[in-house]
Amino acid sequence: MLTLIQIELYKIFRRPRTYIAFGAIASLILIIQFGLKVDGKSYTDFLMKDIGGSMVIDGNIINGYLICYIMLQLLLVHVPLLVALIAADMISGEANMGTLRLLLSKPYSRTELLLAKFLAATVYTIMLLIWLAILALFLSMWIFGLGDLFLMKSSYVVLINQNDVFWRYAGAFVFAALAMVTVASLGFFLSIFAENSIGPIVATMSVIVFFTILSTLNIPIFNALKPYLFTTHLISWKEFFDLKVNDANEAIIGSIQNPQRIITSALVLLLHIVGFVGGAIFIFNKKDVLS
Amino acid sequence: MHKLFFLVVAFQFSVFAHAQDMTGLVMKVKAKLDQVNDYEADGNMKTDVSFIKAPIGKVKIYFKKPNKFRLKKEGGISLLPRGGVSVNMSSIIATNDFVALSAGDQVVNGTVCKVVKLLPMNESSEIVLTTLYIDEANLLVRKAITTTKENGTYEMEMSYGSFAKFGLPEKVIFSFNTKDYKLPKGITLEFDDNEKALTEAQKLKNKKGRVEITYTNYIVNKGVADAVFVK
């Protein structure tokens, strides 16, 4: 099994398209960091014009932690598309090149082959997130320094102490990995139905865009549907950055406002992964492979 | 007619004399505060504003005559009410350019206080009116309500401990009116709808903000570098 995973990883990292995602993330992060380094104050002044009516804020707001949060908000909506580029190509790519039947002639079961391919796609996804963490978090910490995390939400602001932030990022990245693996499992599932890569890649992107729009639309008729859409749960990493307050309105250090939501979202995403991968194995085991 | 004239004149004198008395009292309080050329202190700051979720933070407070004041959270971010430079009494009674009028007596936290209305003579002053609740026996300001031109009205309630001899409080509770805070979700990139709507009663209650600072470890008149006040 390990050999199979190694072979699949070799295949993934031999293709130039794999590095498009790494390059895209790096260039986006560097351009945002450059922009905020040069003119970050204007950006925060604009954001804080509402709170500025009542309060004066003193301290280094534009620090590495805030930069990372801004970037995660911007990027984690788009990273699924980069994940789909590889995951949706895992089976369909082989079918497209005509190597799928040859692959199945190896002394491994179809289930083993599929699991190896899915695990390789998972490794790629996690490596993409590690790359994101290195650039968005660690590089930003190095460039902008450290400080308290001051987050402006639409109806309130959250101030998190500097020494209470890092573990939240660790949790957020682990959760983001789970979310992106869900996307990978969807792409992987769709890839068993096609004999070229474009179809499942575009289908995965379409499903994500369609569901994301449904998740964000605030129309009552769709609200009942939202908890069942995996796209609703992809953004639950943000819950790590909301503090619980006590009766005296003091934020509790080390707390999370809604931990149950993180657990529920993680379970929903896990169920989707099991469903998509299980479904792919079930269907593929019954499939007549002709290419 | 003459009797009436004398009565009016006597009344004018009595009012004037009364106002003089209050100026004297305020000047005594000011003289007490003027013993402090500078100080630095450690503190704990609690922010209670409806739209702010902030933990209790450790802060460092610096003051230098005439009105330099800085509240600093080491390596961190601090949130102060706008107009918060007046978190100390010294800057409220920084000048001699005021009229002090008596407004009777009132009890503040069990202490009988003289209520003094402080009107600035300078028309360009940011402060419109300050009401001081002065503990005459100890020459301490127990409470102050200040109305400003730009930043609304704010209230300070002070309790004193071992540094009362300098007029420096152990605890200051700063109350103020807050403005509405709302950012479009498109700017904050929040597309999930997990915020519960506030009831009207909560909204009204939440219009008032409070910042509570507890002071410890005062270091008085040992010199504070000007660089500390540079932001």
pLDDT digits (tens, 9 = 90+) for A213-230: 888 777 788 788 888 888
Per-residue confidence (pLDDT) for residue B151, from 0 to 100: 73
**Domain of B192: which CATH number?**
2.50.20
Helix (H) or strand (E) holding B2: helix B2-33
Interface of B with A in 8-67 (CB under 8 A): 46, 48-57
Contact between B86 and B71 under an 8 Å Cβ cutoff? The reply is no
Contacts of A159 in chain B (CB under 8 A): 52-55, 77, 79
Subunit contact A159:B231, Cβ cutoff 8 A: no
Average pLDDT over residues A3-12: 88
Subunit contact B190:A154, Cβ cutoff 8 A: yes
Per-residue confidence (pLDDT) for residue B13, from 0 to 100: 46
Query: Who's near A83: CB < 8 A, 6+ residues apart?
Result: A21, A124, A125, A128, A180, A183, A184, A187
HSE, CB side, 13 Å, CA atoms: give it for residue B144: 24
Contacts of B179 in chain A (CB under 8 A): 50, 53-54
Number of domains in chain B: 1
**A291 within some domain:** no
Subunit contact B46:A147, Cβ cutoff 8 A: no
Per-residue confidence (pLDDT) for residue B199, from 0 to 100: 47
The token duo for B3 is 């009797």
Per-residue confidence (pLDDT) for residue B204, from 0 to 100: 45
Which residue has better confidence, A13 or A60?
A: A13
Subunit contact B191:A215, Cβ cutoff 8 A: yes
Peptide bond into B66 cis (omega under 30): yes
**A84 within some domain:** yes
Q: How far apart are CA B206 and CA B179, in angstroms?
A: 10
Q: How far apart are CA B213 and CA B41, in angstroms?
A: 11
Subunit contact A156:B71, Cβ cutoff 8 A: no
B111 residue type, one letter: T
Which of A66-80, A111-125, A243-257 is the most confident on average? Answer: A111-125
A51–B contact, CB cutoff 8 A: yes
The token duo for B200 is 């009207």
Buried b (16+ CB within 10 A) or exposed e, B25-42: bbeebbebbeebebbbbe
Determine the residue among A155, A240, A244, A252 to mutate to test chain B binding: the one whose Cβ has the most chain B Cβ atoms within 10 Å: A155
CA nearest neighbour of A66 among A40, A45, A46: A40
A48–B contact, CB cutoff 8 A: no
Query: Who's near B61: CB < 8 A, 6+ residues apart?
Result: B39, B40, B41, B42, B43, B69, B70, B71, B72, B213, B215
Cβ atoms within 10 Å of A111's Cβ, excluding its own: 13
Subunit contact A56:B82, Cβ cutoff 8 A: yes
**A225 within some domain:** yes
Subunit contact B179:A258, Cβ cutoff 8 A: no
Subunit contact A55:B80, Cβ cutoff 8 A: yes
- Hey, what's the torsion of the CAs at A167, A258, A57, B94, to 10 degrees? -120
Contact between A289 and A101 under an 8 Å Cβ cutoff? The reply is yes
Per-residue pLDDT reduced to its tens digit, A127-151: 999 999 999 999 999 999 998 999 8
Mapping DSSP to helix (H, G, I), strand (E, B) and coil, where does residue B230 land?
coil
Determine the residue among B47, B48, B50, B52 to mutate to test chain A binding: the one whose Cβ has the most chain A Cβ atoms within 10 Å: B52
The token duo for B90 is 């010294």
Subunit contact B179:A218, Cβ cutoff 8 A: no
Provide the domain limits for residue B104: 2-229
Rg (CA), chain B: 21
Subunit contact A251:B189, Cβ cutoff 8 A: no
Return phi, psi of residue A149, to 5°: -95, 120
Alpha helices in chain A (DSSP H): 2-14, 18-47, 64-75, 79-87, 92-97, 100-104, 110-133, 140-144, 166-191, 198-216, 220-223, 230-234, 259-286
Average pLDDT over residues A50-56: 70
A155–B contact, CB cutoff 8 A: yes
Q: How far apart are CA A20 and CA A98, in angstroms?
A: 24
Per-residue confidence (pLDDT) for residue A90, from 0 to 100: 86
Provide the domain limits for residue A21: 2-286
Q: How far apart are CA A48 and CA A58, in angstroms?
A: 12
Query: Who's near B87: CB < 8 A, 6+ residues apart?
Result: B69, B71, B80, B156, B172, B174, B211, B213
Mapping DSSP to helix (H, G, I), strand (E, B) and coil, where does residue B177 land?
strand
Contacts of A60 in chain B (CB under 8 A): 75, 77
A246–B contact, CB cutoff 8 A: no
Which residue has better confidence, A77 or B44?
A: B44
Nearest CA in chain B to A250: B55
Query: Which residues partner with B130 through β-bridges?
Result: B118, B146
Q: Report chain A's mean pLDDT, rounded to a whole number.
A: 88
Cβ atoms within 10 Å of A227's Cβ, excluding its own: 12
Number of domains in chain A: 1
* Low pLDDT (below 50) residues in chain B: 1, 7-19, 85, 194-201, 203-204
Q: How far apart are CA B130 and CA B22, in angstroms?
A: 13
Average pLDDT over residues A243-270: 90
DSSP string, A78-115: THHHHHHHHHTTTTHHHHHHT-HHHHHTSSS-HHHHHH
Q: Are strands B52-53 and A157-160 parallel, antiparallel or unpaired?
A: parallel
Subunit contact A155:B195, Cβ cutoff 8 A: yes
Per-residue pLDDT reduced to its tens digit, A167-204: 999 999 999 999 999 999 999 999 988 888 888 999 99
Mapping DSSP to helix (H, G, I), strand (E, B) and coil, where does residue B8 land?
helix
ipTM over 0.90: no
Cβ-Cβ pairs closer than 8 A, A with B, add up to 134
Predicted TM-score of the model (pTM)? 0.82
Query: Who's near B45: CB < 8 A, 6+ residues apart?
Result: B56, B57, B58, B59, B71, B73, B78, B211, B212, B213
The token duo for B166 is 């300098």
Q: Which residue has the tokens 């959270």?
A: B73
A28–B contact, CB cutoff 8 A: no
Share of chain A above pLDDT 90, in %: 41
- Asked if pLDDT for residue A256 goes beyond 70, the answer is yes
Per-residue confidence (pLDDT) for residue B133, from 0 to 100: 93
